[in-house]
Copies of this chain bind each other. A is one copy, B any other.
Amino acid sequence: MEPGDEAGGRWLREFGVGEVVRRLRQGADALPGVSGTRWGGLVARAGRAEPERDLEVARAAGMRFVCPGGAEWPGQLDDLGDGRPVGLWVRGTPSLRIWALRSVAVVGARACTEYGAHTAASLASGLAERGWVVVSGGAYGIDGAAHRGALAVGGATVAVLACGVDRPYPRGHTALINRIAEQGLVVGELPPGDHPTPSRFILRNRVIAALTTGTVVVEAACRSGSLVTARAAQRLGRFTMGVPGPVTSGLSAGVHELLRGEAVLVTDAAEVVELVGDIGELAPPRRGPVLPRDLLDPAARTVLAALPGDRPAPAEDIAADARTTRDEAIARLYELRALGYVERHGDGWKLTRQAMMSVREGRGGC
């Protein structure tokens, strides 16, 4: 099934995945609302599909498959209705569900200007420094600058690809995407080995829009793909933002068009956080349940125990105290940040006032 196939999504919802697979494999009668030709194509494709092999390849390469309803499934993707992904392939250690709780998409033109690249990178650095996860599409230009900006300050970033997550695209971003898989998450709805196509790029954008609290467009010509992401974000009720540029630049024209509509003009990370952030910025996120401390992952509890309450400590020190690696510690710190347990100050991390109070009051959770 191609990404965003709403008829397919409806079958899965109505008949369940087992029944749909059984009918496709047996070449049985077509499901309702699909022409004979199209059904024939799907049956042929189902014949070629090797899900068991895909899962095996994936596991061997350190990937996992996250399904709707599963513990790591980001519930906000359900806002896509029958067009939600059938599942997401994931590379990287952090929990996609928890990271997505405090995430912002930074997207824009591939053929961006120096101005755009600079702005995307400093925006992403600023967001990461404030404990927000930067989500983008791994492409050249603005996407790459955003990922690099987050990584540069030891921040959290997620690349959502339009192809198999084992096959970094574009090729020139292989090293970047592998680095994101080590320090963050690489995510996609296509099975291992699949190639990107123009329609897959466009459909990938709905995942970026749905996954995040808001989307910032940095540079985009009129009719740019990143405007698709922004409009999807708008339709889904997410915050939509744009970074302005010179009116003489065609690469800002699409952003200005957005800003003349309902998007909010932002000039730096502080303004983005002001919009998407929770009131007071210490409150637990509005979306998703807040886990009591006892229900935290053991690795997260170990990192939490290593956190100072009085002054911020660098991730290296926390990692050493928790007897784990720096990358693992950072992944857990971002999870704990999303849950309201810790806050970031420049290069350091400390317990939030809320978390400290719950410790002092001897309560198990906060």
- In the assembly, what is the distance between CA of A256 and CA of B243, in Å? 10
Q: Check A268 against B247 for contact (C-beta < 8 Å).
A: yes
Which residues from chain B contact A260 at a C-beta distance below 8 Å?
Answer: 264-266, 271
Chain A 162-202: CB-based contact to B (< 8 A → 1; otherwise 0): 00000000000000000000000000000000000000000
Known: A256-B265, A267-B256, A271-B260. A247 touches B248 (CB 8 A): no
- In the assembly, what is the distance between CA of A268 and CA of B260, in Å? 12
Q: How far is the CB of A253 from chain B (nearest CB, A)?
A: 7
Q: A119-B248, A265-B265 are in contact. List 15 more A-B contacts (CB 8 A).
A: A115-B246, A244-B244, A244-B245, A244-B252, A244-B256, A244-B259, A244-B265, A245-B246, A245-B247, A246-B246, A253-B267, A256-B265, A256-B267, A259-B259, A260-B271
Which 4 A-B pairs have CB atoms at the shortest separation, nearest pair first? Answer: A244-B244, A247-B267, A259-B265, A256-B267
- In the assembly, what is the distance between CA of A256 and CA of B265, in Å? 7
Which of A118, A244, A260, A271 has the most chain B CB atoms inside 10 A of its CB?
A244
How many chain copies? 2
Q: How far is the CB of A145 from chain B (nearest CB, A)?
A: 14
Which residues from chain B contact A119 at a C-beta distance below 8 Å?
Answer: 247-248
Which residues from chain B contact A266 at a C-beta distance below 8 Å?
Answer: 260
Q: Check A247 against B246 for contact (C-beta < 8 Å).
A: no
Which residues from chain B contact A271 at a C-beta distance below 8 Å?
Answer: 260
Q: Name the interface residues of A249-299: CB closer than 8 Å to any CB of B.
A: 252-253, 256, 259-260, 264-268, 271
Closest to A252 in B: B244
Closest to A260 in B: B265
The contact sample of 7 A-B pairs, CB cut-off 8 A, is A115-B246, A115-B248, A244-B245, A244-B246, A244-B265, A259-B265, A260-B264
